[in-house]
Amino acid sequence: MRIERYLRNVTFWHMMVGILSLSVGVTYGLLQVLARAGVYKYGGFVYDTKAYYQGLTLHGVLNAIVFTTFFIVGFLYIVTEVSLKKKLNRGLVYLSFFTMLIGTLLAAWAILTNNATVLYTFYPPLKAHPLFYIGATLLIVGSWIAILNTVITHLKWRKENPGRLTPPPMVAVHAVYAVWFLATIGVAVEVLFFLIPWSLGLVKSINPELARTLFWWFGHPLVYFWLLPAYLAWYFIMPRVAGGKLYSEPMARLVFIMFILFSVPVGTHHQFSDPGISNTWKAVQAFLTFMVAVPSLLTAFNLAASLEYAGRVRGGNGLFGWIKTLPWGDYRFAGFIAPMIAFIFGGISGIVNASYNVNQVVHNTSWIPGHFHLTVGTASAMTFLTLSYILLEKLFGKKPWSKGIATLHSYLWLAGVLIFSWGMMQVGRAGIPRRTHLGLSPYIGAEEKVFMIVSAVGGTVMFIAFLLFFVNFFITVFKRPEVDSEEVDLEFAEAYHKEDGNLPKVLDNFKFWIALAVILIIVSYAPVFFDVFRATYGVPGAYSPFSPSNLIR
């Protein structure tokens, strides 16, 4: 498949904006873990709290929002064109990129000038400069343009290929975008109707609980927007790198469809400790959270079977002999297996979080950053870094400058994150809070201090691993191409159990699954909003959309 030069370049710039943002974000990550361990003091000899929170905002927004969104949109363009063998609309590609870029620059200005030190969750009553919210809106609108482009391209493909099943990697693309679109409706309402008017001074006050609820409508499916492109790579690229096949294609399709259904109506599991929402609906969303873990459990079996198949094809035998024969020294395999291993622990800790009663022990403690550095911080982020090497090779014919360093940084990062998260989870279990530098806290015991040093060691190892990636990646960018990249083949894996003509047609009907997801969202969220409105209406100082007295005339 020939990818036009403009799309190669645009994808490259998506990657570059993402990776440059990540490089700033991870630097602030290092400073935080060192500050928490008491090794580094923001502002010299005293803790400068403002600087700590500004750094934390940069860390969260750049790593979790900017890096991921740019990388994912760029990567999915290539997957779309390669799997459908059909061109996207060039004008929309540019429009999306520049809208996202302008939005990012506006938000970055606000954070860098300390006008938006509100962390990546921007909970009110923390208030940011209007340009922060407007920038975030543009970033999302830009990604919606990319969705529109992808949907138009797929519809054209369907017209030209009546009766053909959507290729499985494209099913994954639709799942990513369906989840993202449904999720961003929540945050769009929060930002457009509440935060922007409030930050512009058009309304006097705001309802923090309503804003949090709308944020988490977005915030949890956001994690599957990060995860599903990694799954796309683990399902459709990794088995081929391992020298085998994807074990079951129909199961992969089912998994992506389950994510469309279950990703959104679970956000209240971030609000188990919030007042105002009844226990019944928290419990319902806790149950739905367990449902959304099911496709990941299916994934674990499907991927393990694919790995076993590859290991046996490579000559491994016996119960575990196949593990040894996997290509552990191949930088691409290392870059996929390391995040997969991290995700086993990330997933287990997610189930702990989701268990309503156990959540009371870990909520708002350091346990949570322990969980999400294993998930988004490694399962997603490291997979994206591996994909960026693969894209450089496929789009520009440039293999990594050092394959050894590319392999090393993946295992080093894995070691770093396991140490980091172990430390964070230990102190989290002891009740030590997250999102604070703890510099002057009197209640930290000797054992906790030790584990905070453990986290600092792990965080430093992760940072060194990232530096290795960064240097290797940029030398690769500037070196001469060594292979002809005119024909781009992402080399999607073949399947051992392929989809055949017997597959129920409904499994290729995305409109049906999205409609079902909307119904599930309404059923599970309507009572939650009813509770929130009932509990917060009329509270002095709180803003209710139903109270006209809140409008400044």
List the catalytic residues.
220, 224, 371-373, 434-435
Q: Which helix (H) or strand (E) segment is 56 a member of?
A: helix 49-60
How many residues belong to the chain? 553
Residue from 135, 167, 335, 347 touching ligand HAS (CB under 6 A): that is 347
Q: What share of the chain is helix, strand, coil (3-state, %, to 5)?
A: 70, 0, 25
Q: Which residues are paired to 248 by β-bridges?
A: 497
Bond prior to 162 in cis (omega within 30° of 0): no
Which one, 343 or 492, has the nearer CB to ligand HAS? Answer: 343
Name the segment binding ligand HAS (CB under 6 A); options: 288-296, 456-464, 468-476, 513-521: 288-296
Which one, 145 or 182, has the nearer CB to ligand HAS? Answer: 182
Smallest distance, ligand HAS to C-beta of residue 129, A: 22
Whole-angstrom Cα distance, residue 59 to residue 441? 23
What distance, in Å, lies between the first and last C-alpha atoms of the chain?
A: 59
- Residue environment code for 468-505, b if the CB has 16+ CB neighbours within 10 A, otherwise e: bbbebbeebbeeeeeeebeebebebbebeeebeeeeee
**Phi, psi angle pair for 120, to nearest 5°:** -75, -10
Helical ranges in 434-509 per DSSP H = 446-478
Whole-angstrom Cα distance, residue 124 to residue 132? 13
Residue 212 in contact with ligand HAS, rule: CB under 6 A: no
Residue 361 in contact with ligand HAS, rule: CB under 6 A: no
Residue from 354, 385, 424, 493 touching ligand HAS (CB under 6 A): that is 354
> Nearest residue by C-beta to ligand HAS?
347
Which one, 108 or 179, has the nearer CB to ligand HAS? Answer: 179
Smallest distance, ligand HAS to C-beta of residue 303, A: 4
Distances (CA, A) of 479 to 23, 145, 409, 472: 21, 33, 20, 11
**Phi, psi angle pair for 246, to nearest 5°:** -70, 130
Name the segment binding ligand HAS (CB under 6 A); options: 98-106, 146-154, 296-304, 513-521: 296-304
Which one, 145 or 266, has the nearer CB to ligand HAS? Answer: 266
Residue from 200, 297, 358, 515 touching ligand HAS (CB under 6 A): that is 297
Whole-angstrom Cα distance, residue 466 to residue 26? 8
Residue 344 in contact with ligand HAS, rule: CB under 6 A: yes
Q: How many other C-beta atoms lie within 10 A of the C-beta of residue 447?
A: 11
Residue 358 in contact with ligand HAS, rule: CB under 6 A: no
Name the segment binding ligand HAS (CB under 6 A); options: 51-59, 194-202, 350-358, 497-505: 350-358
Q: Taking the CA of residue 481 as centre, how many other CA atoms within 13 Å lie in the half-sphere pointing to its CB?
A: 11
Residue 507 in contact with ligand HAS, rule: CB under 6 A: no
Q: Which residues are paired to 365 by β-bridges?
A: 433
Whole-angstrom Cα distance, residue 122 to residue 109? 16
Residue 54 in contact with ligand HAS, rule: CB under 6 A: no
Residue from 31, 139, 303, 528 touching ligand HAS (CB under 6 A): that is 303
Residue from 11, 57, 353, 455 touching ligand HAS (CB under 6 A): that is 353
Which one, 235 or 451, has the nearer CB to ligand HAS? Answer: 235
Q: Is the distance from CB of 377 to CB of 422 less than 8 angstroms?
A: no
Residue from 283, 323, 515, 526 touching ligand HAS (CB under 6 A): that is 323
Token output for 463: 């940072």
Residue 126 in contact with ligand HAS, rule: CB under 6 A: no
**Shortest CA distance to 73 belongs to which of 210, 180, 219, 221?**
180
Which one, 7 or 64, has the nearer CB to ligand HAS? Answer: 64
Residue 338 in contact with ligand HAS, rule: CB under 6 A: no
Residue 25 in contact with ligand HAS, rule: CB under 6 A: no
Token output for 445: 């015991």
Residue 24 in contact with ligand HAS, rule: CB under 6 A: no
Residue 296 in contact with ligand HAS, rule: CB under 6 A: yes
Residue 292 in contact with ligand HAS, rule: CB under 6 A: yes
Q: What residues between 237 and 276 interact with ligand HAS by CB under 6 A? A: 269-270
Q: Is the distance from CB of 70 to CB of 101 less than 8 angstroms?
A: no
Which one, 72 or 88, has the nearer CB to ligand HAS? Answer: 72
The interaxial angle of helices 130-160 and 68-84, nearest 10 deg, is 10
Interface map 213-242 toward ligand HAS (x if CB under 6 A): ----------x--xx---------------
Name the segment binding ligand HAS (CB under 6 A); options: 285-293, 388-396, 471-479, 543-551: 285-293
Residue 371 in contact with ligand HAS, rule: CB under 6 A: yes
Q: Is the distance from CB of 429 to CB of 360 less than 8 angstroms?
A: no
Whole-angstrom Cα distance, residue 312 to residue 242? 11
Count of residues of this chain found to bind ligand HAS when the rule CB under 6 A is applied: 35
Whole-angstrom Cα distance, residue 438 to residue 460? 18
Interface map 105-124 toward ligand HAS (x if CB under 6 A): ----------------x---
Residue from 62, 307, 391, 468 touching ligand HAS (CB under 6 A): that is 307
Whole-angstrom Cα distance, residue 211 to residue 195? 8
Residues at the interface with ligand HAS (CB under 6 A):
121, 223, 226-227, 269-270, 289, 292-293, 296-297, 299-300, 303-304, 307, 323, 340-341, 343-344, 347, 350-351, 353-354, 359, 363, 368, 371-372, 375-376, 379-380
